[in-house]
Amino acid sequence: MQFFKTFFASLLGTILGILLLIIILFAAVVSSSSEPEPYIRANTVLTISLTGDIPERTPDDPLQELLNPGAGAKVSVASLKSNLRKAAADDNIAGVWVTANNVLASWANLEVVYDALGEFKESGKFLYFSTDDIGMNEKAYMLATQADSVFYTPESILNLSGFAAQITLYRGLLETIGVEPEMMTVGRYKSVVEPYMNRAISDDYRVQIEHIIDSYSTTFVNAVSNKTGKSVDEINEILNTPPVDRVKFAYENGLIDVLAYHDEVEEYIKQRMGLDEDQTFRTVSHGRYSRVSYRRAGLETTDTSDKIAVIYASGNIMPQLSDSPFGQSGSITVQNFRKQINSALEDDDVKSIVVYINSPGGAATTSDMLWREVKRASEKKPVVAHMGTVAASGGYYMAMGADTVVAQHNTITGSIGVALMIFNANELLTDKLDLDYETIKSHEFADLFDLTRPLSDIEKDVLQRDLDASYEVFLNVVAENRGMTRDEVHEVAQGRVYTGWRAAELGLVDEVGDLDRSLELAAEMAGITDFKIDTYPKKEDLFQALFGAADAQVRSIMFGWIPEPMRSEAETLHMMASQQDIRTWMILPFHIDTR
């Protein structure tokens, strides 16, 4: 009897504890969300710290903000553009001081930030860049080239040595463990299978990587040339010098303006602002300034009810797992995307839609259904597909449902092709693990995707024909959207990957521009001049955040230990391996990371 009393008392205490925790969390979120708008005094400097990734936007996650107060303050492309626009107009902001070190943003996002910094300089206010003990890499320095002055800690590190990409090849590993890949593609450049089939990359694979590296390098070199006044050849010669005493070398060659420590940078800012030595200038952080309204900053706002919906579609394209109660964080599924599309279509104030795509692709069948959702929306309201960091293969496919397609200069796009991936693990399972199998089946092809045997010739023929048919569908979808013939698309397709500017030259996208340009086009197509931006998916409430975060936590546990350059590839491999019934993929052939 005493046992049950103790048991139920403990159970009741646990339940009450959980309820109390939820109440405390709810109160804390409500309290933080109601924090008043900051008051900015005259002669204030906006300080921004740039490090690590700079995503297009940070997710509105109240739980993450509560558990990690700095998460919401992290710089995103959207928040940075917004703050710089406000700071340029705000009479109380004297200038901007950016501290940057190892920036890992995608090249597409990097260029948007670069342009936003350039627009801020037109206000006439100062823009200073400095670094810390970590020092700047090439991406951080590219942004710093927009500054009035680049300050550098004398004994810090400056990584200016160009760009390299390394491809991991798995063929040797598969042979060692006894797994035989059986893979098929359509398109000579659809090289997603190469790392599993070969010990060296093909010439076609290499030419794609070289094209992308060259585009990145050209973007960087032009930025440095514009800052220093040196020619492109001179900048390339600097990058080719041995990286000895790089900070001193950069200073002597005009890449760095001033060698100074943090306190000395403060003195320079005081002089720029006309402050006495004993006066201290005020600063406001990026996160705090984000809460300042456009109206308070002195920017005009509109009272119109007209809206343009911006629907963010980011991640691998995957079927919805019916047995997952938490959804699929980091993936684009038909069910979730359709929900966002329908919400925008049902809102009479939404006059047009911009679908922001950031995806390397994924399952072919899901890509086709996502294309249909975009196409369906375009039949009711004008739709612009905006390509972010990557919109390749399945990501490119879904964009073909839009009225207009816009890519950024260094968006990774194209990859019009399909691939099929099957692994024969018979040697691993039977010889190395000493397992035995007996297969009993009712019909000839019941065990088509069995991991314990190779494909027969007739099975290979059937699968290749299915693959060819999928490729033909892809070609025709692109041809219809781009106003090209099937053969014209095939000529530039075949799985080849392009940067955004090259895709525009080939007619695979309509033009190159940032999100603001896509919004302009969407407004023109809808016949409106003033509009508000309505962002989808909507911000989660506390209940959704508390009970919908499990999937994200699982992903964090699975991939959080993996170094950032390898994490995207690891997640993609996990995704493809976990979907046993999906063998045909429209996915980017490679994950490219430059360093």
- Rounded CA-CA distance 274/266 in Å is 12
Q: So what's the pLDDT on residue 570?
A: 46
Residues 275-305 have pLDDT tens digits of: 887 777 899 999 999 999 999 999 988 889 9
Q: So what's the pLDDT on residue 117?
A: 98
Helix/strand/coil for 532: strand
Q: What is the DSSP string of 413-478?
A: EE---EEEEEEE-HIIIIIIS--------SSTTTTTT-TTSPPPHHHHHHHHHHHHHHHHHHHHHH
Q: How far are the Cα atoms of 36, 74, 103, 414, 552 from residue 91, in angstroms, in the given order?
A: 20, 25, 30, 45, 42
* Residue 455 CB partners (closer than 8 Å, separation 6+): 182, 422, 424, 463
Burial of 154 (0-12, 13-18, 19+ CB in 10 A): exposed
Helix/strand/coil for 143: helix
- Rounded CA-CA distance 394/15 in Å is 46
The neighbour count for residue 168, using CB atoms within 10 Å, is 10
Q: For residue 235, report the phi and psi dihedrals to the nearest 5 degrees.
A: -65, -45
Q: So what's the pLDDT on residue 503?
A: 97
Helix/strand/coil for 311: strand
Handedness of CA 516, 522, 525, 528 (dihedral sign): negative
Q: So what's the pLDDT on residue 556?
A: 42
Q: Give the strand pairing for 93-103 and 44-52.
A: parallel
Q: So what's the pLDDT on residue 302?
A: 87
What residues of the chain score a pLDDT lower than 50? 4, 30-33, 71-72, 323-327, 542-545, 547-582
Q: Which long-range contacts (CB under 8 A, 24 or more apart) does 574-578 make?
A: 575/316, 575/318, 575/331, 575/362, 576/421
- Rounded CA-CA distance 149/217 in Å is 23
Enumerate the H helices of 169-202 as residue ranges. 171-177, 194-197
Measured between alpha carbons, how far apart are the two ends of the chain, in Å?
Answer: 67
* Domains, in order of start, for the chain: 44-161+243-297 (3.90.226.10), 307-549+580-587 (3.90.226.10)
- Rounded CA-CA distance 244/157 in Å is 10
* Residue 155 CB partners (closer than 8 Å, separation 6+): 247
Sheet arrangement for strand 180-186: 180-186, 418-424, 584-587, 361-363, 316-317, 331-332
**How far, rounded to the nearest angstrom, does the alpha carbon of residue 2 sit from its chain's CA centroid?**
58
Burial pattern 57-71, b for ≥16 Cβ within 10 A else e, equals ebbebbbbbbeeeee
Structural tokens at position 145 = 């080239």
Among candidates 411, 426, 373, 587, which has minimal Cα distance to 508? 411
Q: Which helix (H) or strand (E) holds 368?
A: helix 364-378
Q: How far are the Cα atoms of 7, 11, 136 from residue 4, in angstroms, in the given order?
A: 5, 10, 63
**To 5 degrees, how large is the angle CA 147–CA 145–CA 499?**
135
Q: So what's the pLDDT on residue 260?
A: 96
Structural tokens at position 591 = 């994950």
- Rounded CA-CA distance 579/423 in Å is 13
DSSP 8-state symbol, 539: P
Q: So what's the pLDDT on residue 311?
A: 97
**To 5 degrees, how large is the angle CA 419–CA 422–CA 446?**
115
